[in-house]
């Protein structure tokens, strides 16, 4: 193992032993400051997976097809140069299973070589790679075997994990699977998409495109299969990775919002947690870390419903604008599991970039207070590095701290990137704002297109 990787693994696994700096609002010295993406949402041309097939169906449950996405397959090194220039030193990205194993049991060396170049591009710039092995999508051949409803899924995932881990140098932190519990969270949305004559037409078109039942797609996985084969696959994949490279830190990410209740609705909230949150936390506690992905607060009501509180400000995704939600979730996860936390996603959707920058600052302010209180949080990854393809919502929602002119694929640095970068460079809250005299100079100017088109 290269010395750079040895140092990165040691730093991540021993953050609790690292003292805070003298500044009272400081983060741990080895805290991971990063941004995140997912393979299908940024690479482009992932024509061999199940989501691509669903995007092409007519009518489709997706607003539009992903197409070239933001072409990170060809622009990875350029994007790492942007990330490093912003002041970030970690990047969470995905490996696309459909590229690595395009046919069952047939592994593509060309794809593995590509992902090796991605890892090398990170390490060459001092960027810690955090790699997701399964971010919603699967190869079409596996969808046609039933996806997670297939009882062979854990063994097939373990074989894929073992092959990737054995083939790639420089792995440091791995997220086995992304948002394992999200099918439970979006059940109502998924059901509505398939209801009525229009919904039935979408279902028929989707299953024709997939060549399989809609339940073979991760987002529509039935709860029993999710727990049995999804969590089983995480455990099998984790063990396969550790068997090859025991030093690699492995965890799973979960979709976890700040669950609150109006007076008298505590039982409703507790029932939601008991169904969608607590069983997953209980089954993965003791892993190297738990990936927390938090965007908002949701409030349970006495009538059994839940959602944003009336009159609360909302983001473009309809989420309640609550930067304090992240710290509340991290506190809950730590108290329940005593397992280190890695914030693998947190972000703001909308065109108001000033609010995005403020959201990041406020979220990190609350998070630092939780860390000071003893919550073991080892890093923060803003979602997303780039304005990218947001699944069923298409290209409408904007989360990125870097914009993309899709006609040219040119990257445009937003002011929020510099706000976040200033905090990351300082390693503390309240030390400096972007562009202030005490901030390390950045080679970037906000809202300046980079010539990488």
Answer whether residue 20 is part of any domain: no
CATH code for the domain of 44: 3.20.20.80
| Residues 364, 291: Cα–Cα separation, whole Å | 16
Q: How confident is the model at residue 25 (pLDDT cuts 50, 70, 90)?
A: confident
Is the pLDDT reported for residue 124 higher than 60?
yes
Q: How confident is the model at residue 430 (pLDDT cuts 50, 70, 90)?
A: confident
Q: How confident is the model at residue 15 (pLDDT cuts 50, 70, 90)?
A: very low
| Structure confidence at residue 52 (pLDDT) | 98
Convert the chain into a string of H (helix), E (strand) and C (coil).
CCHHHHHHHHHHHCHHHCCECCCCCECECCCEEEEECCHHHHCCCCCCEHHHHHHHCCCCCCCCCCCCCCCHHHHHHHHHHHHHHHCCCEEEEECCHHHHCCECCECCHHHHHHHHHHHHHHHHCCCEEEEECCCCCCEHHHHCCCHHHCCCHHHHHHHHHHHHHHHCCCCCEEECCCCCCHHHHCHHHHHHHCCHHHHHHHHHHHHHHHCCCHHHCHHHCCHHHHHHHHHHHHHHHHHHHHHHCCCCEEEEEEECCEEEECCCCHHHHHHHHHHHCHHHHHHHCCCCEEEEECCCEEEECCCCCEECCCCCCECCCCCECCCCHHHHHHHHHHHHHCCCEEEEECCCCCCCHHHHHHHHHHHHHHHHHHHHCCCCEEEEEEECCECCCCHHHCCCCCCCCEEEECCCCEEEECHHHHHHHHHHHHCECCCCCCCCCCCCCCCCCCCCECCCC
Across the chain, mean pLDDT equals 92
Q: Which residue range(s) make up the domain with 53?
A: 3-13+29-426
What's the start-to-end Cα distance of the chain, in Å? 35
Is the pLDDT reported for residue 192 higher than 80?
yes
| Residues 194, 191: Cα–Cα separation, whole Å | 5
What's the sign of the alpha-carbon dihedral 76, 80, 82, 83? positive
The total domain count for the chain is 1
Answer whether residue 432 is part of any domain: no
Answer whether residue 291 is part of any domain: yes
| Residues 238, 267: Cα–Cα separation, whole Å | 34
Give per-residue pLDDT as tens, 34-89: 999 999 999 999 999 999 999 999 999 999 999 999 999 999 999 999 999 999 99
Among left, alpha and beta (phi > 0; psi -120 to 50; other), residue 261 is: beta
Cα 339 to chain centroid, rounded: 19
| Residues 281, 24: Cα–Cα separation, whole Å | 31
CB 382 within 8 A of CB 410: no
Answer whether residue 209 is part of any domain: yes
Answer whether residue 22 is part of any domain: no
Q: What are phi and psi of 325, to 5 degrees?
A: -65, -40
Answer whether residue 436 is part of any domain: no
Answer whether residue 447 is part of any domain: no
| Residues 165, 383: Cα–Cα separation, whole Å | 25
Q: How confident is the model at residue 449 (pLDDT cuts 50, 70, 90)?
A: very low
| Structure confidence at residue 416 (pLDDT) | 98
Query: Bigger pLDDT: 120 or 17?
Result: 120
Q: How confident is the model at residue 174 (pLDDT cuts 50, 70, 90)?
A: very high
| Residues 264, 326: Cα–Cα separation, whole Å | 24
Is the pLDDT reported for residue 214 higher than 90?
yes
Answer whether residue 453 is part of any domain: no
CB 331 within 8 A of CB 370: yes
| Residues 282, 333: Cα–Cα separation, whole Å | 10
Torsion of Cα atoms, 419 then 423 then 429 then 431, to 10° = -90
For the ranges 98-102, 178-182, 196-200, 441-445, the lowest mean pLDDT is seen at 441-445
| Structure confidence at residue 448 (pLDDT) | 38
Query: How much is the average pLDDT of 291-320?
Result: 97
Q: Cβ of 340: how many Cβ atoms within 10 Å?
A: 22
């Amino acid at each position: 193992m290269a010395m750079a990787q040895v140092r990165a693994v040691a730093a991540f696994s021993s953050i609790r032993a690292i003292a805070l700096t003298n500044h009272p609002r400081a983060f741990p010295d080895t805290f991971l400051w990063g941004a995140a993406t997912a393979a299908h949402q940024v690479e482009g041309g992932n024509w061999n997976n199940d989501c691509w097939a669903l995007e092409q169906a007519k009518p489709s449950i997706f607003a539009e097809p992903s197409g070239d996405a933001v072409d990170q397959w060809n622009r990875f090194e350029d994007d790492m140069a942007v990330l490093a220039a912003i002041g970030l030193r970690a990047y969470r990205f995905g490996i696309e299973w459909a590229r690595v194993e395009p046919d069952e049991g047939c592994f593509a060396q060309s794809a593995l070589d590509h992902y090796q170049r991605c890892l090398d591009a990170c390490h060459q710039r001092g960027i810690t790679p955090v790699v997701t092995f399964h971010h919603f999508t699967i190869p079409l051949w596996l969808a046609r075997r039933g996806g997670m409803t297939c009882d062979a899924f854990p063994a097939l995932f373990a074989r894929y994990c073992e092959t990737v881990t054995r083939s790639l140098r420089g792995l440091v932190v791995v997220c086995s699977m992304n948002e394992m519990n999200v099918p439970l969270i979006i059940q109502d949305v998924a059901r509505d998409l398939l209801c009525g004559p229009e919904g039935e037409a979408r279902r028929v078109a989707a299953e024709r495109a997939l060549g399989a039942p809609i339940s073979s797609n991760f987002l529509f996985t039935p709860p029993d299969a999710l727990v049995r084969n999804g969590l089983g696959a995480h455990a099998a994949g984790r063990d396969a990775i550790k068997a090859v490279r025991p030093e690699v830190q492995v965890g799973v990410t979960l979709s976890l919002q700040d669950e609150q209740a109006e007076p008298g609705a505590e039982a409703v909230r507790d029932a939601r947690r008991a169904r969608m949150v607590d069983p997953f936390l209980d089954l993965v506690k003791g892993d190297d870390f738990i990936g927390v992905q938090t965007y908002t607060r949701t409030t349970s009501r006495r009538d059994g419903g839940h959602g944003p509180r009336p009159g609360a400000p909302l983001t473009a995704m309809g989420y309640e604008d609550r930067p304090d939600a992240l710290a509340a979730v991290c506190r809950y996860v730590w108290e329940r599991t005593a397992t280190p936390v890695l914030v693998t996603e947190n972000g703001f959707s909308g065109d108001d970039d000033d609010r995005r920058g403020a959201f990041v600052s406020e979220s990190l302010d609350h998070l630092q207070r939780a860390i000071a209180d003893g919550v073991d949080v080892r890093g923060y990854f803003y979602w997303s590095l780039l304005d990218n393809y947001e699944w069923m919502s298409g290209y409408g929602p904007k989360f990125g701290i870097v914009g993309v002119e899709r006609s040219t694929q040119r990257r445009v640095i937003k002011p929020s990137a510099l706000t976040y970068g200033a905090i990351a460079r300082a390693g503390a809250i309240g030390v400096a704002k972007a562009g202030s005299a005490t901030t390390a100079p950045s080679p970037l100017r906000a809202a300046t297109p980079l010539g990488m088109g």
